[in-house]
A and B are shown apart, each in its own frame.
Chain A
Amino acid sequence: MQKFMNNLSRFMAILGGIVLTALIILVCVSVLGRTLNSLLHSAPVVAVLGDFAKTLLDAGVGPILGDFELVEAGVAFAIFAFIPFCQITGGHATVDIFTSMLPLKVNRLLQMVIDIVFAGVLILIAMQLYEGMLSKMQYRETTFLLQFPVWWSYAASLVAAVVSAIVSVYIAIIRVGEFFGNRTILAIGGADH
């Protein structure tokens, strides 16, 4: 089970990373296209290339239409997909100078309560995201330039949000086991950023 959850979280993180990389390439292509486009419109280039400049422009050399809409949709998915890995490796920023003085048993109790609440919050977030998606479907909201339905991006994020909720419930169950069984199953890493 632990192996499955670990692999699931890693898989989501890699998927998010791939989407992020794709967005980076997309933005770069768009910047390149825009730069070439304005170059091809400039007088010296037109003088040298003549009609070829126009041919290139007609062929569609220019910025990618609605690139920032794709960035917004993609980056939301990527961030939701990053959450499970952060949960399972305990990557969240915390202040532990005060709790480190407390006995282990108390710390386990704290960690159990925190992770149960965290799971609850992530479930709530996923549920409300689903509600949000339903209302976007109902009003048939589309993006401004590309005209694709907004609920598509919500749906993609929802998948990742549901995985986050599942992983965090699993972690909460582990913490309960740790508290009552008096042993460490899943170590907590420190924050790195």
Chain B
Amino acid sequence: MTNLEIGMASFPVLLTLIFLRVPIGLAMFLVGLFGLYFTTGSFNMAFSRLKSETYSTFSSYSLSIIPMFLLMGHFATLGGMSQSLFKAAEAWLGHRKGGVAMSAVGACAGFGAICGSSLATAATMSQVALPELRRYGYAGGFSTATLAAGGTLGILIPPSVILVVYAILTEQNIAKLFLSAFVPGILAAIGYMITIAVYARIHPDRAGTARERMPYPERLRALRDVWPVLTVFLVVVGGIYLGVFTPTEGAAVGALGTGLIAIVNGGLNRHSFVESFMATARSTAMIFFIVLGAAFYNGFLALTQLPQSLSTYVAELGLSPWMVLTVILLLYLVFGAVMDSLSMILLTIPIFFPIISALDFGMTPEEVAIWFGILVLIVVEVGLITPPVGMNLFVINSMDRLTPMIETYKAVMYFVASDIIRVIILVLFPGITLFALRLLY
């Protein structure tokens, strides 16, 4: 077997392991380990890489942003910020048809601005919004679908853990990626609200009753209660954009700020402090084990020259770049329905990114890298709400035992449609994603 063949053979092996429920990080690690063995003829190289690679992966300054953002998200969850965000959104949107559901989406967007995780956003907002939606007569499936979709805003609106990983894999600037993710994130929130309005027209019986209209003084008062969240977001994201501090420093400032707010709000005592450590520990260890496995696997792939050969091959096929992009995005949609988004990014970007970089989209390489990153971010997030196995759907449904899964499935398809329309728009008009970047840099 040539090295290239070993590289190609590693894919089906890896997928088989993953489908046999081997933890994804472990599967990549094992395939990388044995792949190195088969390409070099011994374990020497693999073992000597291990001497420093585990430590250097875990001690990465740029990756240290991840546990800090995760801790920040858990502090935000405990600090009662979801409650005030939802109240504020409700004051402004609650009187519309489908307004309480729109408020949930708005609050998710706000929470996403301080939390980089979809599942955490979905779970936190559900605790606040599900009872309220039920009180106003929204159908169970529509409520859970709304929150599952709203949860994806946690990752679409920066800070976003997945974008950090993408930035490191492709050697792009994290601040520029965050900046470019902002407009598509807002578009996502608006798209979901339009979806709710459409759904409410088609199924008026399921979209509950509207709340009474709030007078403006009261609306402003509700808005005043969300200032801590706004401040944290502006300081963290603004500071990173303006170059006042590095993304890691921004994450540290955000985590400390959110923690202090949570303490002031009385949400953080010794017990909940420990709980947020536990939750951070679990997800951090999970993420870094995947990062480690992927580093090992990708090191092996690079040695087989597979990514380079594949990208040369695709470039020489002479296909339209847009065609290649469409196929890649479709692949993400399909895989996203069964696999978790971070693993998917780590697994595929080292292969797809060289392919995309070798194609001519009429933009600078950096613009292509950022635009592609945002598109990938969106399509993998669609996977989180795509039946049958979208993770967000499971999380929300486990919080609302009264609603059968099939009801959530039916309603969530409207949101999936909205996502797909948005992806098509962003593919056709790269300027929407890139204009903020072109304006500021």
A residues lining the B interface (CB < 8 Å): 10, 13-14, 16-18, 20-21, 23-25, 27-28, 30-31, 35, 68, 71-73, 75-76, 78-83, 85-87, 89, 91-99, 107, 110-111, 114, 117-118, 121, 124-125, 128-129, 131-132, 135, 153-154, 157, 161, 190-193
> Cβ of A31 and Cβ of B253 under 8 Å apart?
yes
Q: Which residue of A lies closest to B52 (CB)?
A: A132
Shortest CB distance A87–B (Å) = 8
Complex CA–CA separation, A117 to B276 (angstroms): 30
Shortest CB distance A11–B (Å) = 11
A interface SS class: helix
> Cβ of A131 and Cβ of B281 under 8 Å apart?
no
Q: Which residue of A lies closest to B389 (CB)?
A: A97
B409 within 8 A of A: no
When distances are taken between beta carbons in the complex, the residues of chain A under 8 Å from B290 are 93
Shortest CB distance A38–B (Å) = 10
Which B400-434 residues sit within 8 Å CB-CB of chain A? Answer: none
* CB within 8 Å for A93 and B282 given contacts A31-B245, A75-B59: no
**CB-CB contacts of B289-310 with A at 8 A, as 1s and 0s?**
1100000000000000000000
Complex CA–CA separation, A103 to B67 (angstroms): 37
Q: Which 4 A-B pairs have the closest CB atoms?
A: A17-B277, A86-B285, A76-B59, A92-B23
When distances are taken between beta carbons in the complex, the residues of chain A under 8 Å from B255 are 24
Complex CA–CA separation, A13 to B248 (angstroms): 21
B55 within 8 A of A: yes
B287 within 8 A of A: yes
24 A-B pairs (CB sep. < 8 Å): A21-B259, A27-B248, A31-B245, A31-B249, A68-B61, A73-B59, A79-B67, A79-B284, A79-B285, A82-B284, A85-B282, A86-B282, A89-B282, A91-B285, A93-B286, A94-B18, A95-B19, A95-B340, A98-B19, A117-B22, A118-B23, A125-B50, A129-B51, A132-B52
> Cβ of A128 and Cβ of B50 under 8 Å apart?
yes
Complex CA–CA separation, A144 to B395 (angstroms): 46
When distances are taken between beta carbons in the complex, the residues of chain A under 8 Å from B21 are 94-96, 98-99, 107, 110-111, 114
B residues lining the A interface (CB < 8 Å): 18-26, 29-30, 47, 50-52, 54-55, 58-61, 63-64, 67-68, 70-71, 117, 119-120, 244-245, 248-249, 252-253, 255-256, 259, 274, 276-290, 338-340, 342-343, 388-389, 391, 394-395
> Cβ of B30 and Cβ of A24 under 8 Å apart?
no
Shortest CB distance B425–A (Å) = 29
Shortest CB distance A62–B (Å) = 15
> Cβ of B18 and Cβ of A17 under 8 Å apart?
no
* CB within 8 Å for A91 and B71 given contacts A128-B51, A157-B58: no
> Cβ of B282 and Cβ of A82 under 8 Å apart?
yes
Question: Among B252, B338, B343, which residue has its beta carbon within 8 angstroms of that of A28?
Answer: B252
When distances are taken between beta carbons in the complex, the residues of chain A under 8 Å from B60 are 72, 75
